[in-house]
Every structure is written in structure tokens, then in C-alpha cells.
Amino acid sequence: MELFIIFISAAIVNNFVLAYFLGICPFVGVSNKLSSATSMGMATTFVMVITAIVSWLLYNLVLIPYNLAFLQIPSFILVIASLVQFVEMVIKKVSQPLYRALGIFLPLITTNCAILGLALFGSMREYSFLENVIFGLGAGAGFTLALVIMAGIREELDLADVPKPFQGAPITLIVAGILALAFMGFAGMI
């Protein structure tokens, strides 16, 4: 039950994009087509789960026992960057279809603040290992959900008559604001 609440909380109530503002760059950048939004969401979820596993192990088995918590920021970012590179190589070797679906998005994800944010939140809230993995899964699902909804709206928005100065990023942000307003309705759920 505890795990379920963590999942729902990360995915919907405290959605990474719409409540914590993590991963806004891909949210604005990749959300203009439904297909690329789905792929990006899946790739991010994949990296998030791996990050949750590795960052937990690194933080609790290396940094804490050796009193190195002040190295948290550089070590997280380095481990995430090299890990993503490694995962990309493995996927390329093992599964070509999967590589074609996720490949181009993987390098972009390294500098996505949602990934580092996930690792930092995990260590800040002192989750257990299983909780942290579920937290990563929930955050990825929430990110995908927000991205896919946004892409669906933006495909319709292309047909709308938006005033010229508001075309592009401004209208996207305003739509995201309304979407965030809708997601606030879930706030009382937990």
C-alpha cells in the first residue's frame, strides 16, 4: 500500500513536470508530435528506473558509509551520464528496434533535470531501495503522461488561430498552466 501511494504521488499528485517543473525543456521541445512524445516518455521512464537503482546504491553503499555525502552532486551527474552512454551502447547491440525507438532520445536525457532531480529527491527523502525504484517508475509514468497529453493538445493547437506574438513557446506555457490547474484537482487524493 505504501508503495502504491508513492507511485500515485509521483505520477499524478506531485507530477514531475506540472508540479515540480522538472524536465520542462523536453516538455516544451518534444511535445509537438504524439509519436515522438511517446518515445521520449518511454526512454525517460527507462532511464529514471535505472537511475533510481544506481543512485540509491551509490548513495547508501558508497557515499554515506565513507562520509562523502558532499560529493553527491558531481558523483550523481557523472554516474548518470556514463550510465546513459552505456545503456545506449547495450541497446544498440542487443535490440535494433528498441534502439530505433529510443536511441536518439537517450543522449538528450542525460542533461534532463528530471533525472538528477529524481536522484536528489530519492536521497533527500531517505527512501528504501524498493521505494526508490517505485518512485522512479512513478515519476517516469507521470512524465510520460504529461508529455503525451501535452502533445495531443498541441496537435490540435496547430489548427487554432493564435495571435502571432503568442505562437510557439508562450501559448505552450499557457496551455501547460491550464493543464497544471487541472492536475491540482488530484491534490486532495492522498
Partner 1 sequence: MKKQVTLSKEFLKGVWDNNPVLKQLLGLCPTLAVTVSAINGLAMGLAATFVLVMASLLISTIRKIIPPQVRIASFIVIIATFVTIVDLVMKAKFPDLSKALGPFIPLIVVNCVILGRQEAFASKNNPGRAFLDAIGMGAGFTIALLVLGGIREIIGSRTFFGLQIMPDQFEPWLIMILPAGAFLTLGLLLGAVNVYADRKKRLEHESLVAHYKRVGREELIEELEVK
112 in contact with partner 1 (CB under 8 A): yes
Check: CB of residue 44 under 8 Å from CB of residue 65. no
169 in contact with partner 1 (CB under 8 A): yes
Options 13, 18, 49, 106; binder of partner 1; rule CB under 8 A: 18
The long-range contacts involving 44-47, CB below 8 angstroms and separated by at least 24 positions, are 44/105, 44/109, 44/112, 44/114, 44/115, 44/140, 44/143, 44/144, 45/137, 45/140, 45/141, 45/143, 45/144, 46/87, 46/102, 46/140, 47/80, 47/84, 47/87, 47/106, 47/109, 47/115
Nearer to partner 1, 26 or 41 (CB): 26
The least distance separating partner 1 from the CB of residue 95, rounded to whole angstroms, comes to 27
Dist CA 154 CA 166 (whole Å): 14
- Footprint of partner 1 on 39-78 (CB under 8 A): 70-74, 77-78
The least distance separating partner 1 from the CB of residue 129, rounded to whole angstroms, comes to 20
9 in contact with partner 1 (CB under 8 A): no
Pick the closest to residue 88 from 70, 109, 67, 73 (CA basis): 109
Q: How many CA atoms lie within 13 A of 176 on its CB side?
A: 26
The least distance separating partner 1 from the CB of residue 73, rounded to whole angstroms, comes to 5
Options 3, 5, 8, 24; binder of partner 1; rule CB under 8 A: 24
Nearer to partner 1, 103 or 117 (CB): 117
Dist CA 129 CA 73 (whole Å): 20
Options 6, 9, 23, 51; binder of partner 1; rule CB under 8 A: 23
81 in contact with partner 1 (CB under 8 A): yes
Nearer to partner 1, 173 or 189 (CB): 173
- Binding footprint of partner 1 on the chain (CB under 8 A): 18-25, 28, 70-74, 77-78, 81, 111-113, 116-117, 120-121, 124, 163-166, 169-174, 176-178, 180-181, 184
